[in-house]
Chain A
Amino acid sequence: MTHVLAVSVSTGVPFSWNPLDDLQELFRFAFMRNAFAAGTAAAIACGVVGYFVVLRSLSFAAHALTQIGFAGATGALVAGVNPVYGLLLVNGAGAAVIGAVGRRERGRDVVVGVVQSAGLGLGLLFLALYRAQAAVPVLVGDVLGISSTQVLVTVAAGAAIVVMVGVGFRPLLYASLDEEVAEARGVRVGAMSMLFLLVLALTASVTAPILGVLLTFALLVGPAATASLLAARPGRTVGLAVALSLVDVWVGLALSYWVDVPPSVFVTGLAFAGYLCARLWRSGVLRRGHGSTGRGAGT
């Protein structure tokens, strides 16, 4: 095995400077159309859910919930079922443990850290039971392997996630901004917190087959963190997060079609670059004639 991480696409057709030809080329194969369809649904879900991940300071939990998917995906390989079912099972269980045990803010990070390591360790066991080479697509994603069924599952889950967050948007926003006031107003803060962790687990589960368990976290947090720096109102921030997330995934998939590197690497790099630019913008480095100004609810 020479190419460990050779799960990028690159069909050998060179990039032309004619955008129309390139678009045609990009959508020539069914696997790319599948990747774009599933990627679009996942990107929208990640943008919406990511807004609350950033607002509720759940980055570490989101990181753990994406990475323990490793156990789910490798376990599904051993059992011979579609990885998404393993992902759903393990991520859901992880979310339940983190939500139930790590209720208080302080000490929660230890719970998250142990759950994450235990999940990854379990994945390692499944890998030993299966075969080590299978690790690569699970870790960094596999655009070639998105089946039509997977597209359907991802689109359906993406729609369900958007609807759920949309329905619970106001109470969730209250609970995220000021837990005590929300509780006094009758919002069931504990149940809300647990439900959100489960939605987060669902989002991680449908994104992981495309971007891999290692780097799914980038799409979940990067665009939302960037949007939170640039916009203040919740509605606009969510919209911006979704837009950034979509651009990120589309550009990442397109780049990996021509360059032999997994798309998740591009998606991560773009997410980080966007975040860095937004931070520099906020601190006034990129704005001439303005001092350092803080605007809106920053993170």
Chain B
Amino acid sequence: MHASVLATNGSFSWNPVVDWQELTAQAFMRNALLAGTVAAILCGAVGYFVVLRGLTFAADALTHIGFAGGSGAVLLGLSPVYGLLGFTTLAALGIGALQRQLRGRDVVTGMILVEALGLGVLFLRLSSGYSNQTYALLFGDILALGSGDLLVLAGAAVVALAATAAIYRPLLFASLDDEVAEARGVPVRGLAIGFVLIVAVAVAAATQVIGALLAVALIVAPASSAQRLTRRSGTGIAVSVALALAVTWAGIALAFWLPYPVSFFVVSLAAVVWGVVRALTARHRVRASLREAHAAGVAA
């Protein structure tokens, strides 16, 4: 059985201090919580722009390309994290450069995605598989994450977050109104490429936590919920990060006490939160109100 399902860890008490001590007593749990925190912050922040720019399918394609990279690394006997990061950043350069041409042509994204998936399956077959690694790549195995991988992940996340902060204002402008931003001299194309590179890091981080097949949930669901809850971008990103953190921590904690995988809890919680927010804000016109708020902010 894979490590992401924990059978017995003492029982849940209603004393939060005792529970917290138990949750963080072992090194692998501390690693998992740290990795989850890093990935949630990154995915929450980056996801906000992924949703705004309509890049969900591209992000999903990147997760599948990451799977091919990860399984390629397994075939070569390396840690999957290098293959993940390497493949996603390379693919991001391609997607970023072709983004304008790709708009409205989801077939191209789809074909690249499915070929990456096919390659990933082939690599795993050729390495005649180490089943835990297959499983970890597809569905995540955060409880088995080593300290070395955690360091790589944290380093990449810090760089990606710093880059997002550096291009925040022009990126927001370009995401809300591409044409006006371009007319005002914002380097729209360069921003697009730079941003997809950041998404590549977020995808790699999310894959480490909940696996390639589920990663898109952590990037998209909290961000989409946040955009429905507030029209101010700064607050929205903060809400998105908070939601991503909440579902990740709750998912890890639930899996600690219940015999089901972390990824299942994280994804289901993210989807349920999203569904509830969506039902409560059914009449909300997200994009128009974000644009209005942005225009008002710029004018003032």
Chain A residues packing against B (C-beta within 8 Å): 1-6, 8, 54, 57-60, 62-63, 67, 70, 101, 106-107, 109-110, 112-114, 116-118, 120-122, 124-125, 128, 132-133, 135, 139-140, 214-215, 217-218, 221-222, 225, 228, 260-262, 264-265, 268-269, 271-272, 275, 299
- Interchain CA distance A26-B114 in the complex, whole Å: 27
Q: Do the beta carbons of A57 and B60 come within 8 Å of each other?
A: no
Q: Is B54 an interface residue (CB 8 A)?
A: yes
Q: Do the beta carbons of B114 and A271 come within 8 Å of each other?
A: yes
Which residues of A sit under 8 angstroms from B261, Cβ to Cβ?
124-125, 128
Which residues of A sit under 8 angstroms from B158, Cβ to Cβ?
none
Q: Do the beta carbons of A4 and B129 come within 8 Å of each other?
A: yes
- Provide 19 A-B residue pairs closer than 8 Å at the C-beta atoms, listed in order of the A residue: A4-B125, A4-B130, A4-B134, A5-B124, A57-B104, A59-B57, A59-B106, A63-B110, A67-B213, A70-B213, A110-B220, A118-B271, A120-B267, A121-B271, A128-B5, A132-B131, A133-B131, A217-B110, A264-B118
Which residues of A sit under 8 angstroms from B260, Cβ to Cβ?
125, 128
A121-B122 contact, Cβ under 8 Å, with A63-B60, A113-B60, A271-B114: no
A121-B217 contact, Cβ under 8 Å, with A221-B107, A262-B125, A264-B118: yes
Which of the listed residues B114, B124, B217 has the most CB atoms from chain A within 10 Å of its own CB? B114
Q: Do the beta carbons of A116 and B268 come within 8 Å of each other?
A: no
| Cβ distance B36 to chain A, nearest Cβ, rounded Å | 16
Known: A3-B128, A124-B263, A272-B115. 20 other contacts (CB 8 A): A2-B128, A4-B130, A57-B106, A58-B106, A63-B110, A110-B220, A110-B221, A114-B224, A117-B213, A117-B220, A121-B263, A122-B268, A124-B214, A125-B261, A128-B261, A215-B118, A217-B110, A221-B111, A225-B110, A268-B117
Quick one: closest B residue to A61, CB to CB?
Answer: B106
Quick one: closest A residue to B118, CB to CB?
Answer: A268
Q: Is B2 an interface residue (CB 8 A)?
A: yes
Which residues of A sit under 8 angstroms from B267, Cβ to Cβ?
117-118, 120-121, 124
Which residues of A sit under 8 angstroms from B114, Cβ to Cβ?
63, 215, 217-218, 221-222, 268, 271-272
Q: Which of A54, A58, A272 has a CB less than 8 Å from the CB of B118?
A: A272
| Cβ distance A142 to chain B, nearest Cβ, rounded Å | 13
- Interchain CA distance A4-B2 in the complex, whole Å: 13
Q: Once A and B bind, how many residue pairs between them come within 8 Å at the CB atom? A: 179
Q: Do the beta carbons of A218 and B221 come within 8 Å of each other?
A: no
- Interchain CA distance A42-B234 in the complex, whole Å: 49
Q: Do the beta carbons of A106 and B287 come within 8 Å of each other?
A: yes
- Interchain CA distance A4-B120 in the complex, whole Å: 13
| Cβ distance A239 to chain B, nearest Cβ, rounded Å | 19
Which residues of A sit under 8 angstroms from B135, Cβ to Cβ?
132, 135
Which residues of A sit under 8 angstroms from B213, Cβ to Cβ?
67, 70, 117, 120
- Interchain CA distance A201-B134 in the complex, whole Å: 27
Q: Is B232 an interface residue (CB 8 A)?
A: no
| Cβ distance A291 to chain B, nearest Cβ, rounded Å | 19
| Cβ distance A192 to chain B, nearest Cβ, rounded Å | 20
- Digit string of B232-273 for contact with A (CB within 8 Å is 1, else 0)? 000000000000000000000000000111011011101100
A117-B221 contact, Cβ under 8 Å, with A67-B213, A221-B111: yes
- Interchain CA distance A135-B135 in the complex, whole Å: 9
Which residues of B sit under 8 angstroms from A122, Cβ to Cβ?
264, 268
- Interchain CA distance A21-B57 in the complex, whole Å: 46
Q: Do the beta carbons of B57 and A109 come within 8 Å of each other?
A: yes
Q: Which of A6, A59, A135 has a CB less than 8 Å from the CB of B107?
A: A59
| Cβ distance B43 to chain A, nearest Cβ, rounded Å | 12
| Cβ distance B128 to chain A, nearest Cβ, rounded Å | 6
Q: Is B40 an interface residue (CB 8 A)?
A: no
A225-B54 contact, Cβ under 8 Å, with A135-B135, A272-B114: no
Which residues of A sit under 8 angstroms from B266, Cβ to Cβ?
121
Chain B 1-28 residues near chain A, CB threshold 8 A = 1-2, 5
| Cβ distance B159 to chain A, nearest Cβ, rounded Å | 25
| Cβ distance B260 to chain A, nearest Cβ, rounded Å | 5
A112-B56 contact, Cβ under 8 Å, with A124-B139, A269-B115: yes
Q: Is B154 an interface residue (CB 8 A)?
A: no
Chain B 118-156 residues near chain A, CB threshold 8 A = 118, 121-122, 124-125, 128-131, 134-135, 138-139
A60-B60 contact, Cβ under 8 Å, with A4-B129, A4-B131, A124-B264: yes
- Digit string of B183-205 for contact with A (CB within 8 Å is 1, else 0)? 00000000000000000000000
Q: Is B274 an interface residue (CB 8 A)?
A: yes
Q: Which 3 A-B pairs have the closest CB atoms?
A: A4-B129, A268-B118, A117-B217
Q: Is B216 an interface residue (CB 8 A)?
A: yes
A265-B131 contact, Cβ under 8 Å, with A5-B125, A132-B2, A299-B105: no
Which of the listed residues B54, B111, B214 has the most CB atoms from chain A within 10 Å of its own CB? B111
